[in-house]
Amino acid sequence: MAVVAKLIDVSTCIGCKACEAACQEWNDNGFRISGFTGDYQTHETLAHDFWNLIQFNEVERPDGHVAWNMAKYQCMHCVDAGCMKACPAPGAIFRHENGTVDFDHDKCIGCGYCITGCPFDIPKLSPVTQKVYKCTLCSDRTSVGLEPACVKACPTNCLTFGARSDLVQIANARAETLRADGHEHAGVYNPQGVGGTNVLYVLPDASNPVQYGLPADPHISWTVSLWKGPLKWVGNLAFAGTIVGALFHYLRFGPKEEEKEGGDE
């Protein structure tokens, strides 16, 4: 099965939240009344019951004019997924054949290590079930040949779903068009720090992804890499070394004398 992806063409996103509504409906997450976020955004950030959020970023452009960047924000389905790397429960986070990163909530233990592992701050712990939730790229839809709910709902064709290799080409072509149209820094967001992502963005100004609410150079935290890499070997060696050392010590030197003369007065 080909690796699939979702393409978000930020230049055509109008922040209508159809994707949010479709995501909530399809995944049976319901709708919470939200507090005032200070702008048009539905919630401050993602939640265990809110997996797809349009971020509204009011920024100043280099020419001094204001820009209002709206960009959809959800699990990126990284090729090198930090959540998977950090997860201690075998099978709780797994990758479908089509490249989608998904959670098996029967196996999730709710430790939240994936939250630390994710450079995009996506997985969210439910205070009720004590399990972690995020966008599944509608694996229950894609597995039967449908597009994800958000893509289905998008009115401006800002979202496209398909084979990743095709979408990379479409994205590059669209960025090329935007560059020719005066957006000189237009480009594709497919951050290599996480080995690329299965959610791709076309950004009108790719020189500064932060203005769209995306990390400039996301990568799995070095502490996580160290923890899951070298430290594991250090630890294993330390434990094994201690045990083997004790064994050899006992064989070589044995126990000390239990008692000594001179204790009696």
Partner 1 sequence: MSRSLARFSFAERAAHWMAAISFIYAALTGLSLWSTHLYWLAAVLGGGPTVRWGHPWGGIVFAVVLGFIFLNWAGQMRLDADDRKWLAESHKYAMNEEEGLPEPGRFNAGQKMLFWVQSACALLLFASGFVLWWPAQMPRTLLSAAVLIHPATAIVAIAGILVHVYMGLLVVPGALHGMVRGEVSRGWAAAHHPKWLRETSKR
Partner 2 sequence: MTNGWTDVANADVVLVMGGNPAENHPVGFRFVMEAKKSRKAKLVCVDPRFNRTAAVSDKYVQIRSGSDIAFLGGLIHHALSTGSFHEDYVKLHTNAPFLVEDGFGFEDGYFTGWNAETKKYDKSSWQYVKGPDGFARTDPTLEHPRSVFQLLKTHYSRYTPEKVSEICGCTPEEFTQAAEIVCSTGRAGGAGTILYALGWTQHSHSVQLIHTAAMLQLLLGNVGMPGGGINAQRGHSNIQGATDMGAWNALPGYLKLPRANHTSLAAYDGAYSPKALRPNSLNYWSNTNKFMASLLKAYYRDAATADNELGYHYLPKAAETADHSWGRLFDTMYEGGMDGLISFGMNPVANGPNSKKMIGALGKLKWLIVAENFETETAAFWDAKGLAADYYPQALDPKDIQTEVFLLPAACFAEKDGAFVNSSRWLQWKHAALDPPGDARDDHEIIGRLFLELQRLYREEGGTAPEPLLAMAWPYGNQTKPSLEEVAKEINGQFVQGGKQVSGFGELAADGSTICGNWLYAGSWTEAGNQMARQGQDDPTGLGLFANYAWSWPANRRVLYNRASADAEGKPWDPQRAPIQWKDGRWIGDVPDYSAAAPPERNGSFIMLAEGVAKLFAPDFAEGPFPEHYEPAESPVDNALHPAVKSNPAAIYYGRDVDKIGTADEYPYVAITYRLTEHYHYWTKHVASSAGLQSNFFVEIPEALAEEKGIQTRDRVRVRSARGMAEGFALVTRRMRPLQVAGKTVYQVGLPIHWGFVGRVKGPLVNNLTPSVMDPNSGTPEYKGFLVSLEKV
Q: Which of 30, 62, 64, 90 binds partner 1 (CB under 8 A)?
A: 90
What three-state secondary structure class fits 239? Answer: helix
Which has the closest alpha carbon to 17: 71, 77, 75?
71
Reading phi first (left if > 0) and then psi (alpha if -120 to 50, else beta), residue 118 is in beta
| Closer Cβ to partner 1, 26 or 113, answer by number | 113
Residue 149 contact, options partner 2, partner 1, none, Cβ 5-8 Å cut-off depending on partner type: none
Tokens coding 243 = 């045990």
- 223 part of the interface to partner 1, by CB under 8 A: yes
Q: How many CA atoms lie within 13 A of 123 on its CB side?
A: 31
Task: Report the 10 Å Cβ neighbour count for 3.
Answer: 17
- Partner whose binding site includes residue 231, from partner 2, partner 1, none (CB under 5 to 8 Å by kind): partner 1
Binding partner selected for residue 53 from partner 1, partner 2, none, CB under the kind-specific 5 to 8 Å limit: none
* The pair of three-digit structure tokens given for residue 72, joined into one six-digit string: 């959809």
Place of tokens 């000189």: 184
What does the block give as tokens for 203? Answer: 């950004």
Shortest reach from residue 66's CB to partner 2, in Å: 5
Q: What is the DSSP letter of 154?
A: -
Shorter beta-carbon distance to partner 1: residue 1 or 128? 128
DSSP, res 71: E
Find the part of the chain contacting partner 1 (CB under 8 A) among 30-38, 125-133, 154-162, 210-218. 125-133
Considering only 20-28, 32-40, 102-110, 194-202, which stretch makes contact with partner 1 by CB under 8 A?
A: 102-110
Binding region for partner 2 (CB under 8 A): 11-18, 20-21, 24-25, 30-36, 38-40, 42, 58, 60, 65-70, 155-158, 177, 181
